[in-house]
Structures are given as C-alpha cells and as structure tokens.
Structure 1
Amino acid sequence: MPDILIATLVVGVVGLVLGLALVTASKKFYVETDERVTKVRECLRGANCGACGYAGCDAVAEAIVKGEARVDACPGNSSENIAKIAAVLGKEAIDQDPQVAYVRCAGTCEATKAKGAYVGLQDCRAAVLSGGLGFMSCDYGCIGLGSCVKACPEGAISLENGIAHVNSAKCIGCGLCAKACPKHVIEMHDRVTKVAVSCSNHDRGPAVKKVCVAGCIGCGICVKQCEHGAVTLENNLATVDPEKCVACGKCVEKCPTKAIHFVQGK
C-alpha cells in the first residue's frame, strides 16, 4: 500500500509541476491577437478556397487588417460584408462589381465532332499536357473533362452535353474555374453583363464552319447591327463591350450561328 501511495504522490507532483510550467509558458509566450482580425474573419465567406491568393480565410483576414490586402480581397463576398469589413478598419467601402463565370464555347456534342479518342487521365490539363489541344474537332473549344468542375468550391459548374455549364445562381465569382481551364474558355464577367459571345475560335469563317456549327464565323453582321458600337471583331472573333451594350438584342437576333447570347437570365 505505501508503494501505491508514493507512486500516486509522484505522479501528482509531476502533473502539478508540468501544469505550472505550461501556464507559465503560455503567459510568457502569449501573442496578443488583434481583435479586428477576428471581426474581419467573421465577415468572410469561410470557404478557405484560396481564390484570394492567400492560404485561407485566416490568412487573408490578417492581410486585410495589416493593409496588405484590399477589403474586398475575398472573391464573391457580399457588398454587405465588404462594408462591415471597411467599417471595422475605418475605411471606405469598395463598390465591388460581383462577377460570374461564363463559358465561351457552345461546342456541344451536336455542334462539333470528335476527331479522336482520348485515353488518359480525365483532366483537361492532363489532356493538353499530353500533347493534344483537345480531342474534339475545334482546337479552341471546351475539352469537357471537368478540371473546372473539380476547381469550383461551390459546385456551380457541371458538364452538360460535352461542355462546361455554369450555374450563375451558385457562382461566387472566385475565378478558380477560369484559372483551371487550360484552354482559357472560361472567363469572368460582371453580373451586369447582358450579352456575350459563346465562342473562342479565332480562325476564319470557313475553318470554323468545318469544326463547329455554333462557332463565330467572323461575318461582321453583329457589328453592323449594333447602333452603339458595342460589338467589334477582334482577330476574327466577335467581342461585346458590356459598357456600351444596351441589350437591344439585334446582334443576338441576326447572328447566323447563334454564337451571341443573352446572359444572366436575360
């Protein structure tokens, strides 16, 4: 019995000493946290997606407080939360234009043809690195292996009929899908964008027709139809200036291949 008591006392004393040592160390090495970091962190989305360029929400919150990042550094953050962050830091809120991803390709299975069978890792980047621009007839179009789907933290992208499709209601505008696309088919638009071109092919019209019936053939009809100078041809491809576009729909109506579309539920 005495041996048990001695062992118990020894364990108790050791535990007490270690406890006191931990308390002392915690006080000595305590680093005071700026309460503003916590408040800013609470105003972020909390996805830890890394789209801001930082390791996660904690890291970008610290950067915002230190002045190393803008108050709107979190892509897809609401205007309300951005205003709260600005208030915490005593700064003016930034009027952020929320963005949404848009797929500049309409090359569905019906619109284009397969030029060969791809055998390999089901990843768009892997397909490009393997030496091929793609296994569909259009070398500019969506490969359709889903690198963008994997990159999206919100599940806003799916593959439909061979190409990527963005659910604008779910999209937070982080831009990770655009970065993941090796063909640069996905680009970011302001949510106020009314009309866009769903094609990325810069070849001349005859060459485009051979590979995709939904591609822009650079005919220039859209340019002539637009009374506001919002549509131009750049390297054989129609481009719409959202600041000039009034969504009259004339270019959409007259486009022979329907490569120009209303966007964002218009």
Structure 2
Amino acid sequence: MNTAIMVLIVMTAIGLVFGLVLGYANKRFAIESNPLIDLVEDELPKGQCGGCGYAGCRAYAEAVVLDKEVSPSLCVPGKAAVAEKVAKLTGKSAEEMEPKVAYVMCNGNLKNATRRYEYQGVKDCSAANLLQGGPKGCSFGCIGFGTCVRNCPFDAMMMGKNGIPLIDTDICIGCGKCASVCPKNVISLIPVGTKVEVQCNSHDKGVKVRKNCTVGCLGCGMCSRNCEHNAIKIEDNLAVVNPEICINECSEEKCLTKCPTGAIKEILLNLNNAQKNKEEVAVK
C-alpha cells in the first residue's frame, strides 16, 4: 500500500513539473497570430477543398495575408464575392475569376473498353493503379473505382453503373479536388460555356486505341481538318480543343459529325449526364 502511494505521489509530482515546464515554454515561445488571418479565414467557405493550391482554408488565409504575391482571388468555391472580401481585408486587388467545372476525359466504360484482368483488390483507383496501371486495357483511361467521387467536398460527383463518374455541373464549382486525386489525370477543369471537348485521355497511336476502346480518340486529325477556326490540334496522338477559340468563334460544331469514333462530345449534353441519367447512378 505504501509503495502504491509513493508511486502515485511521484507520478503526480512528475506531471506537475512537466506541466509547469510546458506552460512556461508555451508562454515563452508563443508566436502571436495576426488577427487579420482570422478575419480572412472567417470569410472563406471552409470547404477545405484545396482548390486554392493550399492545404485548407487556414493555410490560404495565412498565405494571402502574409505574402503580398498571393492573389485574393484563389478561393474557387467562394467565387467573386469572397475574392472581393478578401481583397478588401488585405488591401489587394481582386482578379477576374473564370468559372470552371470538372470534366471526365474518358468514355471507356464497361461496355466499350477492354479489361486486361479482373481486379480483386481494394476498390480505390490509386490502389488499383499500383497493379500494372490498373485493370483497364487503356493505360490512360479512367479506372472507375470512384476515388474522385469520394474526394469531392461538394458531393458534385457520382459513379454511374457503366463505371465512369458523372458530374453534376449545377453543384460543381471547379475546385479541382477530383482532378488532384485521379492517378490517371483523366479529369480536367474546363471553362463554363465550352462547346465541345474530347472525351478521351489516351496518347496511344490509333491502332492501339481501337484495340482497347471503341470510342477512343484515334488522333486521325479529322476534327482538326474540319474545324474552320483552327480550334483543335493533335498533340501526342490526342485531339486537344482550345476552348477560348471554340467559345468565341465557333457557331457550327462540324467536328462532332466528322469524328469516326464519336470521341468528341457536345459539352453541354455530356456535362449534364448527371442530371439526365439519374437512373444510371449506382453509388453517390
């Protein structure tokens, strides 16, 4: 009994000593926080999406207050309204923000794309990508296990039964979180108002693309040759659309009718898949 009491006394004494030391250290080496950082953080939407390029709203608030080079217009969810408030607090000028939405550059679903093997591991795209680049025949295509969907901080994505994620553009604010977690870089951010886009991410040559996916871009250049405004280029075997030219100059999307595989899609129809095909949703 005496031994137990002594142990208790010693442990209490040690705890008090460490508490005093830590308290002194906290007071002695405390760093005063800039109150402006708290004010800026209060104006941010707290989505913690990372769309600003920083690890959360607090990190961005610190950066925009302490670094004169950091723009007050980096909060994508907050848009122009938050940018103006942050600019006013920091004495900076808000820049014009171009609204964007996420776009899935792959249509290689369970019906039209080949599989190299049956994956039995954790249903996570990054995990599957570690095993020979995933089960899909096309090494550039969407793996389809919904890592992007689970990481969307605004519930703007859902997985379709066909194995391709759908984006609800009424909700998507273009924060880029889904794009940052995709191991295949299948998701891009495109300006709102873009008329056509290529729903393919493959840089393989046409013969290999055709073997792996019936709807992939062959890099044949038919779309480019039929675009009167020079808005489409073939880069590394893949058609790339310049959205600025397409939005401002094109009035007739001839590229849609000339693509032999249908890899180029009318963007409004494609992006509204999430609204038009609710019955195809398997997991939200």
Matched to 2:266, the amino acid is F
Number of corresponding residues: 239
Matched to 2:182, the amino acid is C
Q: In 2, are the aligned partners of 1:252 and 1:261 still within 8 Å (CA)?
A: yes
Matched to 1:116, the amino acid is Y
Shift of 1:59: 2.9
What is residue 54 of structure 1 aligned with on the other side? 54
Identity of aligned residues (%): 41
Task: Tell me, in whole angstroms, the C-alpha distance in 2 between the residues paired with 1:92 and 1:265.
Answer: 37
The correspondence for 1:254, drawn from 247, 258, 268, is 258
Q: Judging changes above 3 Å, is the alpha-carbon distance between structure 1 residues 231 and 49 closer, same or farther for their aligned structure 2 residues?
A: closer
The one-character-per-residue Cα deviations of 1:40-86 (angstroms, maximum 9, x if unpaired) are 22321111233434343233223212235320232332112211221
The one-character-per-residue Cα deviations of 1:91-138 (angstroms, maximum 9, x if unpaired) are 2211011221111101112211323100111111111113x2221222
Shift of 1:31: 4.4
What is residue 204 of structure 2 aligned with on the other side? 203
For 1:131-170, what aligned pairs fall within 5 Å after superposition?
132-160=132-160, 161-170=162-171
Matched to 1:59, the amino acid is A
- What secondary structure, in the 3-state scheme, does the structure 1 residue paired with 2:94 have? coil
What is residue 96 of structure 1 aligned with on the other side? 97
Q: Judging changes above 3 Å, is the alpha-carbon distance between structure 1 residues 206 and 32 closer, same or farther for their aligned structure 2 residues?
A: closer
Shift of 1:171: 1.4
What is residue 72 of structure 1 aligned with on the other side? 73
Task: Tell me, in whole angstroms, the C-alpha distance in 1 between the residues paired with 2:266 and 2:188.
Answer: 16
Task: Name whichever of 42-51 and 192-201 sits farther off.
Answer: 42-51
Matched to 1:153, the amino acid is P
Q: Judging changes above 3 Å, is the alpha-carbon distance between structure 1 residues 110 and 42 closer, same or farther for their aligned structure 2 residues?
A: same
The one-character-per-residue Cα deviations of 1:183-238 (angstroms, maximum 9, x if unpaired) are 11111212232221000112222221111111111221111110110011112211
Task: Tell me, in whole angstroms, the C-alpha distance in 2 between the residues paired with 1:115 and 1:55.
Answer: 37
Task: Tell me, in whole angstroms, the C-alpha distance in 2 between the residues paired with 1:186 and 1:260.
Answer: 15
Q: TM-score, normalised by structure 2?
A: 0.76
Which aligned runs of 4 or more in structure 1 are off by greater than 4 angstroms?
Answer: 29-33
Task: Note the residue ranges of structure 2 that are not aligned, 5 or more in a row.
Answer: 1-22, 271-284
CA RMSD of aligned residues (A): 2.3
Matched to 1:61, the amino acid is A
Task: Tell me, in whole angstroms, the C-alpha distance in 1 between the residues paired with 2:127 and 2:87.
Answer: 42
Q: Judging changes above 3 Å, is the alpha-carbon distance between structure 1 residues 221 and 54 closer, same or farther for their aligned structure 2 residues?
A: closer
Shift of 1:243: 1.9
Q: Judging changes above 3 Å, is the alpha-carbon distance between structure 1 residues 152 and 220 closer, same or farther for their aligned structure 2 residues?
A: same
Task: Tell me, in whole angstroms, the C-alpha distance in 1 between the residues paired with 2:92 and 2:84.
Answer: 9
Task: Note the residue ranges of structure 1 that are not aligned, 5 or more in a row.
Answer: 1-21
Q: TM-score, normalised by structure 1?
A: 0.81
Task: Tell me, in whole angstroms, the C-alpha distance in 1 between the residues paired with 2:79 and 2:31.
Answer: 34
Task: Tell me, in whole angstroms, the C-alpha distance in 2 between the residues paired with 1:201 and 1:232.
Answer: 15
Between Structure 1 and Structure 2, the one with more helix by share is 2
Task: Tell me, in whole angstroms, the C-alpha distance in 1 between the residues paired with 2:267 and 2:78.
Answer: 22
The one-character-per-residue Cα deviations of 1:117-171 (angstroms, maximum 9, x if unpaired) are 00111111111113x2221222221000111112211111222111122222221
